[in-house]
Amino acid sequence: MRYFLTLLLLLTSLQAKLLISPFDALHAVYGKDVKIEKKNVLLTVKKAETVYKQAQMKKGGKIFRTFKVKKGDETIAYAILISRVVRSKDAAILYMISPTGVIEHVEVIAFNEPPEFTPSKQYVSQFKGKTDQDTLRVGKDIPTVTGATMGARNVTDGARLALAVFDMLFREK
């Protein structure tokens, strides 16, 4: 029995800590009356290379979870869930982007690192109004966070990646 409880405790501690669901986060920002369409997108190798090059990042995954937020027949926002490893554990950040390509809101969905490393609401709020025309670099236009540099870098790199995915999938050309 002791081994079973130890195993159960170990397994539950390995799961990412869900802070809020993407749907709840989107409803909190855009209202309860919006319709949200979720879609998992698999990019081709060529499109993935283009996205990561635009984001100025090393190659990564090709699957992205996207959300389209509609009020009536009008699309009012897109959201892209970026899941990446911080240090050695997963973090998932939801980037809410206007149809014109401006970040409207950023929400930490899951964070498996110690709670003191979780990016604060104040920190993620500085991404509001940023576009793919902004540098989005920690230590340049995005301040570092003492003791949580890797988390700050993850959110910042994720913003560049989310904007690049938005540009590839949703921006009207």
**Domain spans of the chain?**
14-169
Per-residue confidence (pLDDT) for residue 3, from 0 to 100:
45
Contact assessment for residue 99 and residue 77, using Cβ atoms and an 8 Å cutoff: yes
| pLDDT digit string, tens, across residues 128-154 | 999 888 878 776 667 666 555 666 788
Whole-angstrom distance, CA of residue 28 vs CA of residue 71: 14
Phi-psi region of 127 (alpha: psi -120 to 50; beta: other; left: phi over 0): alpha
| pLDDT digit string, tens, across residues 31-83 | 999 999 999 999 999 999 999 999 999 888 999 999 999 999 999 999 999 99
* pLDDT-above-90 percentage for the chain: 54
Per-residue confidence (pLDDT) for residue 151, from 0 to 100:
67
Half-sphere exposure of 162 (CA within 13 A, CB side): 34
Burial of 30 (0-12, 13-18, 19+ CB in 10 A): buried
